[in-house]
Structures are given as structure tokens and as C-alpha cells.
Amino acid sequence: MSLSLALVPVLGAAGAAGAAEGPKPKTGADLKLDKEAEKSRTTTDELVTYTYTVTNHGPETAANTILTDYIQPNVSGIDLIGGCDVAELGIINGAARFRCFLGDIAPGATETVQFSVAHADPGIYPNVATVVSDTPDPDPRNNEAKAKVVVAGADVKLEKTADPTSGTAPTQVTYTYTVTNKGPSAAEFLQLTDRFPEGADVGTVVAPPGWDCAFAEPSRQLFCSTEGPLAPGETATIQVPVTYATPGTYRNVADVNVLTADPNLLNNRDDATVTVS
């Protein structure tokens, strides 16, 4: 029997050190930004406070740290609550630009900033904030944060009914118009319009205090208006007596408009049909 020997290399000290070498130590300042709005839904011209939290996960100090946010247009008010060494506030093309100079942030330290914004018009306002420093950042993916606020106006709704909806000529019908402000803001400068067909004899309009109504004979159009305001949840009711002397089917459509921004125009119109035999 013969034996076969194989030579196995033995690592020296230098080789062992090379095999055990791990990843290089992390450098730079890993900044992380979190942003939160105090509420996700608000009304026009109401200040909403955004809270920005900047954390330095190290391992080095973040030098000359700057937080920047651009709020979308239709800004009606801005207010810096605090947290910046120096701040720049301004409105550019209707949008608010907010820059906050935080100075140096040590590893493991956190800075908190609060900034308030109000919007003049209803809509959805998303925005993105960013944070940077003069120190290289090993993970810039967490340097931005988003928040979204929905600004609602005055959702005005119109309901129109006819009583009765049928009869024998001559038939008197009472049209009832119910204008409701579903909020959340007050509704100002409302106008109700309706057009009646030839053969409709329009009587005296009954309207609540503060409303002015008139019927224009040449155009056959009813106009009712008020400066308001119509408070959220409040309802105004207008009644119009109309006599139909000629048989036929009479359908007419009424509309309500409001100067205050209305987030839902689909419920601003209603109609009623009356059949006279």
C-alpha cells in the first residue's frame, strides 16, 4: 500500500489579517428627515402647522444643515413657529418657500422645526421637503419627506321640488328651493337662478331675510341672491308659486352659485317636472 501526500498552504499572519478584513467604517453624516402635518384636512385661510424632524444618524457631524420646503400656490398666510437658527420665508409666484438654517447637527442629535401655512383656495396640496448639509451623506434616500393637506371650501347643495307634480289646467304649483351649506366654510354671495317656460304665471316669491328675489319677465328668469354668509350646516328655503293655464309637461332647471370656492359643483343644480292635463 502506498500513501499520497498533498501539501496544504498555511496562512501566515498577513494572510489571516487579509481574510478577516470587513467592510470599511462608515463615514459622513446620514441625515434623515420626517415631516408631518397637524391635520390632513382643513378649510380656506386656516393655518396648518407642519412639523419637521431632522435626525443625524452619524457618524460625523452634519455641517451647515439646511431644511427647504416649497408649499404649492394659493398661499394666503405663513408663520414660522420656531426651531431655526436663521429662517427665510417668502412667497414666489404664489407659492411659499421656506428655508431653515440649522447649523451643525452632532451625531445622534435631532432638530425639530415647525412652520405654518394657509391656502386661499380649496384643493389638494402635496409638498416635499428636503434636508442637506456640507458633510457628505452616505444615504441621501432619506433626505426628503412628503405631506399632503386637503383644503375644503363651502359645499353648497340645491334641492328643488314641485308640489303638486301633476294636475288639471289651470294648476297652481309651489316650487320649493332648499339651499344648504354642507361646509366646512361659510358660503358668501349666493345666487339662485331658474327659468320658467312661456305660459307659466309666476306669483309672489317668499324668501328668507337677507335674500332679494326678482322675476324678469322678458327672460322668464328668476333671480334670488344674498351676500350671506350662509353658515356651515345652515339652510335657506325659497318658495315660488306658479300657475300653469295650458296643458303640457313643464320641466325647468335651477342652479345655485356661490362666490366662496365650492369643492363640489355636482350638487349645485336640480330640476322638477310638472305635468298639466
154-276 has the same fold as 27-152: yes
Rounded distance, CA 77 to CA 207, Å? 37
* pLDDT tens digits for range 74-104: 787 788 888 898 888 777 777 778 899 999 9
Question: Quick one: cell of 205?
Answer: 316669491
- pLDDT for 6 beyond 80: no
CATH superfamily of 27-152: ntegrin, alpha v. Chain A, domain 4 (2.60.40.1530)
pLDDT band at 4 (very low <50, low <70, confident <90, very high): very low
| DSSP three-state, residue 4 | coil
ω before 184 within 30° of 0 (cis)? yes
pLDDT of 12 > 80? The answer is no
Q: Quick one: what percent of the chain has pLDDT higher than 90?
A: 64
**CATH of the structural domain 154-276, one choice from 2.60.40.1530, 3.30.1390.20, 1.10.3720.10, 2.60.120.200:** 2.60.40.1530
Closest alpha carbon to 192 in 225, 154, 149: 225
pLDDT recorded at residue 93: 72
Q: What is the pLDDT of residue 20?
A: 53
Residue 1 has pLDDT above 60, yes or no: no
* Rounded CA separation 27/136 (Å): 8
* pLDDT at position 56 over 60: yes
pLDDT per position as a tens digit, 185-199: 889 999 999 999 988
Break the chain into its structural domains and give their ranges.
Answer: 27-152, 154-276
pLDDT tens digits, 207-255: 999 999 999 988 999 999 999 899 999 999 999 999 999 999 999 999 9
Q: What does the pLDDT average to over 129-138? A: 97
